[in-house]
Each structure stands twice: as C-alpha cells, then as structure tokens.
Structure 1
Amino acid sequence: PSRRPPAPGSRAADAEAAGPASEGPIVARNQAETGPANARWRALLAEGGPILADGAMGTMLFASGLQFGDPPEAWNVSNPEVVRRIHRGYLEAGSRIVMTNTFGGNRLRLRLHSLDKRVSELNRTAAILARSEVDAAGGRALVAGDIGPTGEIMAPLGTLDENEAVDVFAEQAAALVAGGVDVIWIETMSHLSEIGAAIRGVRQASATVPIIATMTFDTRGYTMMGVSPEQAARSLLEAGADAIGGNCGNGPDELLPVVSKMAAVAPDAVLVAKSNAGMPELVDLRAVYRADPPTMAEAALGFRAAGARIIGACCGSSPAHLAAMGKALGVPHPG
C-alpha cells in the first residue's frame, strides 16, 4: 500500500536504508540450523507446530503494586517473588518461552533511576529468577533475555551514537547470558539502526545465543520511524536474527497484516506475533486493555494462519489470555 512520504528529517532514514520492499522472497538464514546456536532452541523448533510464548510483564507488575514511573527491573531484587509468580503463571498456562523482567534493563534507561551501575546485577538476577521457575516447572520452556529500546533516538535524527548503542546492548546481553538465558529477545523496536545495534551488541556478548527480534508497528502498518514489515523482515534476517516479527502496538488486528507481509517476503523465517490485548485506553491515568481471553484466542488462530510460529501476547495480557490462546492453538498444556 502507498503512504505519504515522511516529512524531511523525520522518518525517512530507516525506510531508505532498508531498501525497496518489492524484491522477491528472501530465504531466512536460520541460525538455529546452520550456525552455532543453543541446543534447547533447536530442540524447541524441531518439535513442530506453534510455540506459545508468554504475555505481559509490566502491566502484571502494575497490577501487583508497581507505581507508575518506577523501574520494573528493580523488582527483580526488591520483590523477586512477585516476578517469579508472574513467570509461574505463564508456565502454568503452557508458555514455552518466558521473558525476563529486563525490558528497560539497559544503562541508559536505568540511569533515569540512578541504577545504571547495577545493569549486571539486575539483568543477571532476572535471568536467574526466570530460570528457577522454568526448572521448577520441568525445564521444558526456554528463558528469553528481554532487551528493549534505549529510550534514546539514534543519530543522525537523535544523539545516540551507534557505537555507544552497541556497547549499551552488549553490556545488558552479557549479564543476561551470564544469568543463563537460552535466547535473547530484542523487542518493541522502531528504528532499524537501533535494532541492528542491539543485534551486534548481543553478538559481542555471545556468538551462539539465538536472537528473536521484533519491532512495533502502528495503525498504518509502519514503525514509528517509517519501517515497513517487508523492510523489517529483510533487515533483521540479514543482520542474523533467528526469529523475527512484531510485538506490542495497538492489538491483534493491527499486527495480523504485519505478519502476513513478513511471511510474503520471508516464507522460510520463524515468524513471531506478540500483540497487546487490544488497543490501550487511558482510565484514571492507567492504560486499560479490553481484549479478553476469547478474543486473544481467536487472534492466535489468525496469527498462525498468517504464518506465525511463535505466538504470545504483550501489554494488558495475563496467564488467562495465554491459557486461552494455547488451548485454541492446541499446544500441550502442562499437567
């Protein structure tokens, strides 16, 4: 579909750098099969069928008492049992990939809370918490080290230098790997330069850990920085990601065409769909998500039909949503 050209100096950099989206299908370079990768990741893919990921962490923490503006990552140390309970809920719902409580665990975000000297501690602890719950549940699930954006804008539109970004992500990834994660999940990215820096940073920390990379798309079908699903698919696979897709956004209806477009240009890729539980609404200064478990279960079937292999949920979701999604997908349920 056509769209208005971005205003000069606003969103063009990523889209132009990504190249045209009309080229023929690309072949996914599946690092899990052709390169060094985690054996647990390879084994999970080899099982066949859809893979149920987990759901929200942040909104679950808010429901447990986290105050708006406070860093969720601090709860890995101050309230570890709450974090563990959230992981446990998703595992009991059937999730095979659980993400660490480290979305904002890079030093640039943590600096806002004077926690930038505790990057290693907070990320490593988060990985250990998730690993302990996975092991207690039988060890069938994978632990994904969650890496979100820095919160800064990459140069030349912003001030974040590419080399610094790589170093920031490498520091976080190294701590997650030290804590025992099976994969790294880079999520909620809008800028190809930033997600590219994140992938390079992860590779500095580990040459073998598998990488899941997902971007966030708006109602127009583009990221905030003007990246299309086709451009994202090409760039992420060329950068060496093992699985690609979309997360967050405005609900499953917005993410479904994103998955379809990625599947069209990368039919062999492991595709990921992890949408919010509907479009957020502001109620009493809190975001409220209206999509109930049956709605998300129906969405899961749509994602699978569109080509997604890894299917989960993002903001506003709960273990109840994931349980309904898993049942709809026919994935094995623990117990």
Structure 2
Amino acid sequence: MTDNLFLKLMAERDHLIADGAMGTNLFARGLQSGDAPELWNVDHPDRVASVHQEFVDAGADIILTNSFGGNSFRLKLHNAQDRAYELCKRAAEIAREVADKAGRPVVVAGSIGPTGELFEPVGPVTFEDGKAAFAEQARGLVDGGADILWIETISSREESAAAVAGAATTGKPVVSTMTFDTVGRTMMGVTPADAYRHLTSLPVAPTAIGANCGLGATENVLSILGMKDAVSPDAIIVAKANCGVPEFKNGAFTYTGTPELMADYARLARDSGARIIGGCCGTTGVVLKAIHDALEGYVPGEAPTMEAIVEKLGPLAGVTDRPAHGHGHGAPCAPEGGEGGGRRRRRRG
C-alpha cells in the first residue's frame, strides 16, 4: 500500500469529495477585484484558513491551496514574481494545518493554474520556461506539505504538458483538469476526449484527469461524458463544475446554481464516471455539503443521456448570457480589472 494519502484514499473509497471555490469565498472575506489572492497567504492567513475549514466542515476530502495564480508569470502582474516559491509554500502550510486537525484524512492538493500567457508555437513562452515556472511553484507547494499537485483550468495542450512536467519533478501524484467552455472545447480548441488522450500520453501521465470551471454543471457533466470513449476502465476522473454562471447584481457577482442543483449535478457526474467530485466558481461550503450529502451512500447508475442531463441541470449556458470568462482564486468568472492586457487571463473563483 502506498504511503501517499491521496492514492491510499482512492484505493479505499469509490469516490472523494473535492472542495469548492477559493476566490468566491475570499471575496466574501474582503478580497478586492484585481488583488492577488496569493498575497493573502502572508497578509491574511487566518482568512485563507477559514475557507479551508469551511470546506472541511462541509465534508471535503481534498482541499486545494490558495495558489492558483502562484506562478512567476502571473505574480509579475503584482510585482511579486520573485515570491512564487514563498507564497506557494505558505499556501500549502495553511491548508496542511487545517487538514491535520480535521480528525479524519484530508488531502492537501497544491493548486496550479495557468500562466495567462500563450505557449509556442502560438505565443512566446517555451515549454522549458513554462516547465521551470511550474516546477518552482510545485516545489513550494510540496515543501509546504501538499500531498499532490492539482493543475486546473488549462486550455492548451502545450501549457498542460509544461505544467504536468513541472509538477512531476516533485515526484508527487499529479491531477490535471481542463476547461471546456467553448462549444464543447477548451478556449484553444481541445475536446474532452482529445484532452484525455493527450494527458495520458505525456511522459509522466497525471494520476487523475477531468474537467473544471466552465459554463456550469450541465457543461461539466457533458465534458466528463465526452471523455468516456477515450478513458480506460480504471481511470480516475475529476468533475469540478461552477455553481451555475455568474450574474452581476447590485454591484456584486452571484451564481445561478443552488445546493439542490449541485446535488443533482454530483449524482449525474458520478453516473458519468467521475470519482472525484467538487465545485468550482461560486461553490460555498453550503453547496459543497449538498454535494457531499448527495453522494453519501449513492450507488451510481447508467451514464445519463444529454436529454436527462438537461432535464435535471438545465440547458447549456450561452456565451452571451454571462460576462467574459476570466477565472481564478481571486475573481469570479469575469474579466479581471486592469490585468487583461488583451489576453484572456483565467482566474479560479
């Protein structure tokens, strides 16, 4: 039996509950649009810890560190490019402390998000430069106590390859999820089945693969189903959907999803083959508890049809129905003020 907690739990259980949104919940604790949430690991560690605690109390088996934008490329936007290792190590230490006092096994997953840059051959960032940045981030997370590295919200094959390679330098298990929010593809045109085949063909393949963020629960379940023809029988698939889509009302973003809808989503994701299920943008502790409770003792059924998914979760959200999709720990799924620079910079929210 392995001594890695994540692999041990996956071997013992039929499913694990991943956490919800860091950014949404940091906003509720005072984070301002445009701020770097990773700086809160030093400036407000108690507030970051309280988010982790909220998810542990709701039943999370896996909590993701507050380090989504903790690579040197993204931190350069805040003149903190030389602090990637420090901020990521601190992020993992905060999560580790919460996990260790939970009274039950809780996995600390080191969150690694995209750089916000374009990789060769489309853009200027080389594979080696990307790998080095992700490796620096991963080292900080592992040195701070992360059990695994969790790469999320990636859109291109090139960046995902660099991220997995960088994370793999630590020797820890790697999870990799992509975001299929553009007519069933990632922003860079990758389908769910192509993503699975690509990730499993890398020199060091991720231990778990799946879909996160996007246009809501319907799209996420359809993305998981889209991998079905490509996945192996023993694959560990991850579903981490947004809690609906964001709406700007009364000066703030709210999400259209409800605990009841996300409970239905959790069971449909499980029916579709996902073994790790949680929420992304908009997912609070209340929503995560609904996900947890919906799966407690649940026996998965047959894979649902598209009609059954739409009937339960609603139709796919149209791109015109919501703000442009930014992303991240520090902002809702909306443009990040002042940081776009003409590129779509995702932040996990």
User: Greater helix share, 1 or 2?
Assistant: 1
Aligned match of 1:276: 242
Tell me the distance in 2 between the aligned counterparts of 1:189 and 1:286. 26
Tell me the distance in 2 between the aligned counterparts of 1:285 and 1:247. 26
Per-residue Cα deviation, 1:267-309 (whole angstroms, up to 9, x for no partner): 3210000000012223356432110111101100000000000
8 Å contact kept, 2:41–2:90: yes
Tell me the distance in 2 between the aligned counterparts of 1:146 and 1:331. 29
**2:70 maps to 1:95:** no
8 Å contact kept, 2:134–2:162: yes
Letter in 1 for 2:286: A
Aligned match of 2:275: 309
Aligned match of 1:29: none
TM-score, normalised via structure 2 length: 0.82
**2:266 maps to 1:300:** yes
Relative contact order, higher structure (CA 8 A, sep 6+): 1
Aligned match of 1:107: 72
Letter in 2 for 1:225: M
Shift in alpha-carbon separation, 1:199–1:38, aligned structure 2, 3 A: farther
Residue among 163, 172, 185 paired with 1:222: 185
Shift in alpha-carbon separation, 1:285–1:112, aligned structure 2, 3 A: farther
Letter in 2 for 1:232: A
8 Å contact kept, 2:168–2:174: no
**2:108 maps to 1:146:** no
RMSD: 1.5
Deviation at 1:161, TM superposition (A): 1.4
Tell me the distance in 2 between the aligned counterparts of 1:43 and 1:97. 13
Per-residue Cα deviation, 1:44-67 (whole angstroms, up to 9, x for no partner): 112222211000001111111100
**2:176 maps to 1:213:** yes
Structure 1 runs (4+) deviating above 6 angstroms are none
Find the residue that maps to 1:163 and give its secondary structure.
helix
Where does 1:60-79 land on structure 2 (aligned, <5 Å)?
60-79=25-44
Aligned match of 1:121: 86
8 Å contact kept, 1:50–1:331: no
Tell me the distance in 1 between the aligned counterparts of 2:276 and 2:128. 31
Tell me the distance in 1 between the aligned counterparts of 2:223 and 2:175. 16
Deviation at 1:233, TM superposition (A): 0.5
Amino-acid identity (%): 45
Shift in alpha-carbon separation, 1:104–1:220, aligned structure 2, 3 A: same
Tell me the distance in 2 between the aligned counterparts of 1:38 and 1:245. 24
Tell me the distance in 1 between the aligned counterparts of 2:272 and 2:3. 27
Aligned match of 1:11: none
Aligned match of 1:49: 14
Per-residue Cα deviation, 1:107-142 (whole angstroms, up to 9, x for no partner): 110011011111111100110000000011125110
Per-residue Cα deviation, 1:187-237 (whole angstroms, up to 9, x for no partner): 000001101000111122x12x01110000115110000000000001112
Shift in alpha-carbon separation, 1:110–1:67, aligned structure 2, 3 A: same
Name stretches of at least 5 consecutive residues in structure 1 with no aligned partner.
1-32
Tell me the distance in 2 between the aligned counterparts of 1:286 and 1:232. 34
Find the residue that maps to 2:49 and give its secondary structure.
helix
Residue among 123, 127, 136 paired with 1:171: 136
TM-score, normalised via structure 1 length: 0.85
**2:136 maps to 1:182:** no
Aligned match of 1:232: 195
8 Å contact kept, 2:95–2:108: yes
Tell me the distance in 1 between the aligned counterparts of 2:137 and 2:245. 30
Aligned match of 2:156: 191
Deviation at 1:315, TM superposition (A): 0.4
**2:50 maps to 1:85:** yes
Name stretches of at least 5 consecutive residues in structure 2 with no aligned partner.
299-349
